[in-house]
Structure 1
Amino acid sequence: MLIQIVAGTLLAGVASVWLAWVLSKSFLSRYPQHMLSLAAGALLATAFINLMPEAFESEYSVHSLFLIFFAGLLVVIVLDKAEVWHHAHEHGQAGEQCGHQHAHHAHGPTGSWSVLFGDGVHAFADGILIASAFLADWKLGVAATFAVLLHEVPHHMGDLAVVGSGSNQPRKAVLKVSLAGSMTVVGGLVGYLIVGQLGEWLPLFLVFAASSFAYVALADLIPQLNKPMGLRQTIVQMVWLLVGSLLVTAAVAVVGGHAH
């Protein structure tokens, strides 16, 4: 189980940075809205199709689980307002990379390090959530890893634009963001130790993870997609959202079907 957690957190936290770097040089960088829709769909599917049903199969009452879900939302909102949970998103979405490169020139190294710090905190929290999912069922862990990966790719594309602004050595930016992303592994190890000792509370951790994923999708990603657009663009956006949720569902099916 520990090996699976380390592998999952490395994939979600570090491999996502290198994938973002590759995609930022491809034609896909011109379609950041599609990537955000894909990530939102993956997070929502993981929260409501995988994590929540698993928690509801426990002996905890529905009332208790929804209370934890509500409390989880409040905690994440507070952390978000404190610019800790999503501090790395302050520079905006990946679709505005060029504009933000100019905007962050004035910040210099300080702005870059603040982004890296926010990334590290965010990655650490992701690691704990991924570990919780793996401890419940390794198939849930795969779904959580995949959802975080899809979310982090467009996120890291923006990070790389900020950290690498004004530099002629883009690989240094990749290494710096990868170092921050490696905190996902640290969070995974901490989650393995803490959550593993609190096995009876595991359903509560799953619900908290679900509330976190739902918040990121509904309060962070989807608002970035709520811009005036025509019917065709709206349909395309919904298709990518559906594709994201289907990818997570397919990932779980490929590794062994349902959680049980």
Structure 2
Amino acid sequence: MSILAWIIVTSLLGGLLSVLAAALFVLNARAQYLGALVSYAIGALLGAVFLDILPEALHLTTNITAVSATVLLGILLFFTLEKVLIWRHCHHEHCEAHEPHEHSENDHGRSGAMIIVGDTFHNFIDGIIIAAAFMVDVQLGIVTALAIIAHEIPQEVGDFAVLLNSGYSRRRAFQLNLISSFATLVGGVLAYVTLQGMQSVVPTLLALAAASLIYIAVADLIPGLHKRTRMRDTVQQVVLIAAGITTVATANFLIAG
């Protein structure tokens, strides 16, 4: 089988298998567990950013300041994008977006839209990484693809939780994650065709993906946790956030080992 064929097959399988594995967990979970999944999602998103995405971006660049600036500009970009989404769904002054005291538990799809943007960037980068590995050695490519599948599952669980919390149906959440997973294939094929040119923009894409996930976790999800003020709820939230971070850290340790 040719290198391109290996890249296409593993990119498709990598995206599909991670989404399906996450769906088996999340879509069969009871509704009352959704709040717990959101706490776990915050940990998984922040863990992926600070233990995986940003370290990789810094490793691939010679200009750390540029990567940091891209993250900063990315956060501003996603703030602006969210504002546009609010304006699009709000045509008068007294809509729910302007009534924080009556704000419902979900965010009417804004976090869901943001998570798909960030996940698509991340999947695109995964495709580039898979292609780069296969162009070095087929065995390395297979191992890399398997590692990415294992690493993506906890993040996909978090993505599903965010989409459901944003008011999307289970079916729609699955469809959006599945569509987003095809970015892995796009990244893999483009990297195969123009790998040298793509390598120069990888740190920027990683920085933008990191900015998106940071913004979702800190600006959209964490404020919702403050609505539950009991000590028991707070302890549960901290434990689940730590569990999400630990999952990503463990996955990185196993892959490195």
Same fold by TM (over 0.5)? yes
| TM-fit CA distance, 1:246 | 0.4
| TM-fit CA distance, 1:222 | 1.1
Partner of 2:27: helix, strand, or coil? helix
| TM-fit CA distance, 1:184 | 1.3
| TM-fit CA distance, 1:218 | 0.9
Moved more, 220-229 or 193-202: 193-202
Report the Cα distance in structure 2 between the residues aligned to 1:72 and 1:121, rounded to whole angstroms: 12
Report the Cα distance in structure 1 between the residues aligned to 2:173 and 2:164, rounded to whole angstroms: 10
Report the Cα distance in structure 2 between the residues aligned to 1:194 and 1:71, rounded to whole angstroms: 25
Report the Cα distance in structure 1 between the residues aligned to 2:45 and 2:105, rounded to whole angstroms: 26
Aligned residue in 2 for 1:66? 68
Report the Cα distance in structure 1 between the residues aligned to 2:221 and 2:37, rounded to whole angstroms: 10
Identity %: 22
In structure 2, do the counterparts of structure 1 residues 73 and 204 end up closer, same or farther at CA, with 3 Å as the change threshold? same
Unpaired segments of 5 or more residues in structure 2?
1-6, 90-95, 97-103, 131-143
Is 2:35 the counterpart of 1:22? no
| TM-fit CA distance, 1:51 | 1.2
Aligned residue in 1 for 2:162? 155
Aligned residue in 2 for 1:104? none
In structure 2, do the counterparts of structure 1 residues 22 and 35 end up closer, same or farther at CA, with 3 Å as the change threshold? same
Partner of 1:30: helix, strand, or coil? helix
Aligned residue in 2 for 1:31? 33
Deviations 1:41-77 (A, max 9, x none): 0110110111111221234222111111112212222
Aligned residues: 218
Is 2:243 the counterpart of 1:247? no
Which letter does structure 1 place at the counterpart of 2:251? A
Report the Cα distance in structure 1 between the residues aligned to 2:105 and 2:34, rounded to whole angstroms: 14
Which letter does structure 2 place at the counterpart of 1:69? V
Report the Cα distance in structure 2 between the residues aligned to 1:149 and 1:4, rounded to whole angstroms: 17
Which letter does structure 2 place at the counterpart of 1:184? S
In structure 2, do the counterparts of structure 1 residues 11 and 220 end up closer, same or farther at CA, with 3 Å as the change threshold? farther
Aligned residue in 2 for 1:180? 176
Is 2:125 the counterpart of 1:126? no
In structure 2, do the counterparts of structure 1 residues 149 and 185 end up closer, same or farther at CA, with 3 Å as the change threshold? closer
Partner of 1:23: helix, strand, or coil? coil
Unpaired segments of 5 or more residues in structure 1?
92-98, 102-110, 164-172
